[in-house]
Chains A and B, each alone.
Chain A
Amino acid sequence: MTQDPVLSVRNLTTAFRTDEGWRSVVRNVSFDIASGETLAIVGESGSGKSVTSLSIMRLLAPGASRIEGEIRLNGRDLLGLSEKAMRGVRGNEVSMIFQEPMTSLNPIFTIGRQISEVLTRHKGLSKTEARAETIRMLERVRIPNAASRFDEYPHQFSGGMRQRVMIAMALASRPKLLIADEPTTALDVTIQGQILDLIKELQDEEGMAVLFITHDMGVVAEIADRTVVMLRGDAVETGPTEDIFHRGRHPYTRALLSAVPKLGSMEGKALPLRFPVVDTATGIALEPVGAERSVVQHQPILEVRNLVTRFPVRSGLFSRQTGAVHAVENVSFDLRQGETLSLVGESGCGKSTTGRSIMRLIEPTEGEIQLDGFNVRELGALELQRMRKSIQMIFQDPFSSLNPRMSVGQAVAEPFLKHRMGTAAEAREKAAYLLERVGLPAAMMSRYPHEFSGGQRQRIAIARALSLDPKVIVADESVSALDVSIKAQVCNLLLDLQESLDLAFLFISHDMAVVERVSHRVAVMYLGEIVEIGPRAAVFENPQHPYTKKLMAAVPVPDPARRGIRRGISNEELKSPVRPLGYRPPVRQYREVSVGHLVQVADA
């Protein structure tokens, strides 16, 4: 590198005060970023990547944290600055955007005020000048009708638009360094693509340095010139992104990369495949044990016909119904034993509502559901109880879906006891067996959820779902919140269980790459409707519906050859399924592309 780096970090060590004294969470991390360059810090939760970025900004609580080493911005040592001088750096020379666009803007101020604040604070602009400049920034981040949206509040913007506002705010003062801390993690995949494009585009125009923090290898491959891999506070490997991906030296780097689900990796394979298990110490990948099996073509265990679920929208003086959210609209599919059908789509597409409607956790509006001999929609309260033995659910958040005051043994045994399937002793025995089955020692039965990691908790949730010997499991984003390596392990566990117990999975996910790996069949949902359904290979290798294609094109693929890829900036937002009263959904036609591969025919 010929030019001087914008940011130079040397031996950064950050420690937090704990009851046992100082505990370092980032150790001896060093890197440089030149202007116009993008450096990614990648790592799983607890790797210290966010702490690194907050250390650079000196945003950690001063009493509870200690930052050592050297952080130079254009040669000036940031750690030596007074707090007052540091405030002149923050938001001015170095700006930051965060993961959660929904909560990162102050709800009671207009977005215009929040952006112009940066300009009046750092650039000494008057209110009118700041307003004009803010509108210009809003236009640069491609917010439609920027001028008229100046006086709007954050809640009037969608998640993607709020992230644009955050970017406008961060770039208003033309910083030399932009720190982006997981800026697209909370966004839908098509919106993520837009935001990544926008950051790249603005970087080209401004020539700023970008420090990009992420856990997503696909995003890294797409955006970073160079990459730092962090593991439990240490930077284990630093280098050009291509080298990291293709010639990673550290075992952890290789382990991480092989665990990443990669869209397109299943080409030519008909059936689900386990993720390769990689030893993080040696980095040697054990190729996945094949053990593929096809679904025995017996009768479907679950048949859904013309399912419709709508929620009323009320407003006005007497809360009259003024419209409806058409959450699920005319959805039909079958699920066989031993089969995984995935429902994929973005937020608001109705995939979770479909899952809940089938279990009648939400009352469907119309349609027919046959589950294991039950006509689900006709069941009374008692029969509904019995029906739920056949179908169980695993939720997304393993931290809030377990009762913190119940030991994991009790949690797993509870459904068994509540359904009077045996004595307390039998329940305990069953719980012990199931915990072993999901890979946890039965001796852990008396422990409480807080003693377990996220991945272990998800295993416990799976054990709990299995305690009634269900035939169908609805897995609602069950692996979405997990770290890459844990996600691979939990997916493998689900595949193992499917094989040995002949389970049927309704796998609800927004993650195309994971879906590709675990599914037999896939249904793509958009605005409450299934737009394309068919065998996984057919849908992924020969997508027909425009939305399926768009969705697949938006997924970042962990391949550095795609760096610099542009999708053509659009600022299209996800459409809303809210319809006026009396709206009649159009009658849809489906066309059969190949056996079992159906595509909705676009509006004539």
Chain B
Amino acid sequence: MPVFIGKRLLVAIPTLLIISIFVFSLQKLLPGDPVLAMAGEERDPAVLELLREKYHLNDPIPVQYVNWLGGVLKGDLGISLRTNQPVLELIGEKLPVTIQLAIMAMIFAFAIGVPMGILAAVKKNTVLDYIASIVALSGLSVPNFWLGIMLILLVSVNLGWLPASGYESIFVDPVRSLQTMIMPAFVLGTALAATLMRHTRSAMLGVLSADYIRTARAKGLSPREVVLSHSFRNALLPVITLTALLFGELLAGAVLTEQIFTIPGFGKLIVDAVFNRDYAVVQGVVMCTAVGFILMNLIADVLYVLLNPRLRASL
């Protein structure tokens, strides 16, 4: 197993390098000038030039890249052009917020999507299956910004049950934190739940028609044992791989959801950074996301191997 993980981490290095070059050069191609954003009303060319000089924005792009990369290797992601805070500090501040949102959304997605998928597969072509499919399709087709706004109107404005926005750290005030997070997590989770449900259903359908399920039934096992133990454990394998891939969708969704509920998370950080041409922050956030994505997939692969005796043996 350590060999397997080591191998995968080695492969991750060139991947991250390619991503960083790509993002770095793409940003420079974007129209707009960070210095203009920074200077605000001040348009004195001398001042602008000074700022450019200060932040090494006049250096050739490859030189800028190498400088940045050197910093990264020393654990320095640069300084935000907008707030003058170190990027690492910014990320450290915002990342936990988004991680909390993501975990809660995933819990929603699993709690809704997986049981619904199993049920739809077991009750294939019955009313239950059709209802599950319709719910899933609605979950996929309703844009989550719309769902978010509707929920705010209903739950917060009309019923007054939950706060419409804001954020509290879970370590400071857990109750308040959950109250503020539950709606955004639900909104973010529904779209994922729909995808998970569709995939769980098809994975379960494949497994349920397998020969070994017929064997399990011929043994006289109860439907519960057949479905939950013999079938689901097998169907879980493709679902795990899918979950890792959904991580990307989760981040994209988080950007929007955080905007709607004004949550000071990663998504908001990157949107603000892009609009202000805050290069160092964008670069840092993208790299951080890429690392997260690679880690998620690594975890999924490890789980996949652990759950699959056939692969476990080959390690």
Listed in ascending order, the chain A residues whose CB lies under 8 Å from chain B are: 57, 59, 87-92, 95-96, 98, 100, 103-110, 117-118, 121-122, 153, 155-156, 166, 169, 315, 317
Query: What 1/0 flags go to B284-315 for Cβ under 8 Å of A?
Result: 00000000000000000000000111100110
CB-based nearest A residue for B216: A106
CB-based nearest A residue for B207: A106
Contacts of A89 in B (CB 8 A): 220
With A103-B212, A106-B212, A317-B7 already in contact, the answer to whether A59 and B310 are too (CB < 8 A) is no
Contacts of A87 in B (CB 8 A): 220-222
Taken together as a complex, chains A and B put the C-alpha atoms of A91 and B215 apart, in Å, by 9
CB-based nearest A residue for B237: A108
CB distance from B211 to the nearest CB of A (A): 4
| Inter-chain contact A121/B211, CB cutoff 8 Å | no
Q: Output the residue of B215, B216, B230, B309 with the most chain A CB within 10 A.
A: B215
CB distance from B306 to the nearest CB of A (A): 11
Q: B210 in the interface, Cβ–Cβ < 8 Å? A: yes
CB distance from A101 to the nearest CB of B (A): 9
| Inter-chain contact B215/A104, CB cutoff 8 Å | yes
Sort A-B residue pairs by CB-CB distance and give the 8 closest, nearest first: A91-B219, A91-B220, A90-B220, A153-B309, A103-B211, A106-B212, A96-B218, A104-B211
| Inter-chain contact A91/B218, CB cutoff 8 Å | yes
Identify which of A88, A103, A118, A122 contacts B210 (C-beta below 8 A). A103
| Inter-chain contact A90/B218, CB cutoff 8 Å | yes
CB-CB contacts below 8 Å: B214-230 with A? 214-222, 230
CB distance from A80 to the nearest CB of B (A): 18
CB distance from B227 to the nearest CB of A (A): 13
Taken together as a complex, chains A and B put the C-alpha atoms of A57 and B7 apart, in Å, by 50
Taken together as a complex, chains A and B put the C-alpha atoms of A96 and B219 apart, in Å, by 8
Contacts of A98 in B (CB 8 A): 211, 214-215
Identify which of A59, A103, A109, A317 contacts B218 (C-beta below 8 A). A59
Contacts of A155 in B (CB 8 A): 309-310, 313
Listed in ascending order, the chain B residues whose CB lies under 8 Å from chain A are: 3, 7, 210-212, 214-222, 230, 233-234, 307-310, 313-314
Contacts of A166 in B (CB 8 A): 215
Contacts of A317 in B (CB 8 A): 3, 7
CB-based nearest B residue for A102: B211
CB distance from B217 to the nearest CB of A (A): 6
Taken together as a complex, chains A and B put the C-alpha atoms of A156 and B218 apart, in Å, by 23
| Inter-chain contact B309/A107, CB cutoff 8 Å | yes
| Inter-chain contact A104/B212, CB cutoff 8 Å | yes
Contacts of A106 in B (CB 8 A): 212, 215-216, 230, 234
Contacts of A117 in B (CB 8 A): 219, 221
With A103-B212, A153-B313 already in contact, the answer to whether A108 and B308 are too (CB < 8 A) is yes
With A106-B234, A108-B309, A317-B7 already in contact, the answer to whether A118 and B212 are too (CB < 8 A) is no
With A100-B211, A317-B3 already in contact, the answer to whether A107 and B220 are too (CB < 8 A) is no
With A117-B219, A155-B309 already in contact, the answer to whether A107 and B214 are too (CB < 8 A) is no
Contacts of B211 in A (CB 8 A): 98, 100, 103-104
| Inter-chain contact B212/A107, CB cutoff 8 Å | yes
Taken together as a complex, chains A and B put the C-alpha atoms of A104 and B212 apart, in Å, by 4
CB distance from B305 to the nearest CB of A (A): 12
CB distance from B206 to the nearest CB of A (A): 12
| Inter-chain contact A90/B212, CB cutoff 8 Å | no
Contacts of B217 in A (CB 8 A): 59, 90
| Inter-chain contact A104/B214, CB cutoff 8 Å | yes
Contacts of B308 in A (CB 8 A): 107-108
CB-based nearest A residue for B6: A317
Apart from the given pairs A95-B219, A96-B218, 7 other A-B contacts in the complex at a CB distance below 8 Å = A57-B218, A59-B217, A87-B221, A103-B210, A103-B211, A103-B212, A107-B212
Contacts of A122 in B (CB 8 A): 220
Taken together as a complex, chains A and B put the C-alpha atoms of A38 and B215 apart, in Å, by 22
Q: Output the residue of A98, A105, A108 with the most chain B CB within 10 A.
A: A108
* 10 sample A-B contacts, Cβ–Cβ < 8 Å, listed by A number: A59-B214, A87-B221, A90-B220, A96-B218, A98-B211, A103-B211, A104-B212, A106-B234, A107-B309, A107-B310
CB distance from B222 to the nearest CB of A (A): 6
CB-based nearest A residue for B234: A108
Contacts of A110 in B (CB 8 A): 309
CB distance from B123 to the nearest CB of A (A): 10
Contacts of B307 in A (CB 8 A): 108
Taken together as a complex, chains A and B put the C-alpha atoms of A57 and B314 apart, in Å, by 38
| Inter-chain contact B218/A92, CB cutoff 8 Å | no
CB distance from B76 to the nearest CB of A (A): 33
Contacts of A59 in B (CB 8 A): 214, 217-218
CB distance from B54 to the nearest CB of A (A): 48
Contacts of A118 in B (CB 8 A): 219-220
Contacts of B216 in A (CB 8 A): 106
CB-based nearest B residue for A317: B3
Contacts of B310 in A (CB 8 A): 107, 153, 155
CB-based nearest B residue for A110: B309
CB-based nearest A residue for B215: A104
CB distance from B138 to the nearest CB of A (A): 27
Contacts of A121 in B (CB 8 A): 219-221
Taken together as a complex, chains A and B put the C-alpha atoms of A352 and B170 apart, in Å, by 64
Taken together as a complex, chains A and B put the C-alpha atoms of A183 and B233 apart, in Å, by 27
Contacts of A105 in B (CB 8 A): 212, 215
CB distance from B152 to the nearest CB of A (A): 44
CB distance from B58 to the nearest CB of A (A): 45
CB distance from A320 to the nearest CB of B (A): 13
Contacts of B313 in A (CB 8 A): 153, 155-156
| Inter-chain contact B219/A90, CB cutoff 8 Å | yes
Taken together as a complex, chains A and B put the C-alpha atoms of A108 and B211 apart, in Å, by 14
CB-based nearest B residue for A100: B211
CB distance from B127 to the nearest CB of A (A): 13
Taken together as a complex, chains A and B put the C-alpha atoms of A156 and B309 apart, in Å, by 10
CB distance from B224 to the nearest CB of A (A): 11
CB distance from A122 to the nearest CB of B (A): 6
Taken together as a complex, chains A and B put the C-alpha atoms of A118 and B215 apart, in Å, by 11
| Inter-chain contact A107/B234, CB cutoff 8 Å | yes
Taken together as a complex, chains A and B put the C-alpha atoms of A97 and B314 apart, in Å, by 29
Contacts of B215 in A (CB 8 A): 96, 98, 104-106, 166, 169
Contacts of B7 in A (CB 8 A): 317
Taken together as a complex, chains A and B put the C-alpha atoms of A90 and B225 apart, in Å, by 14
Contacts of A156 in B (CB 8 A): 313
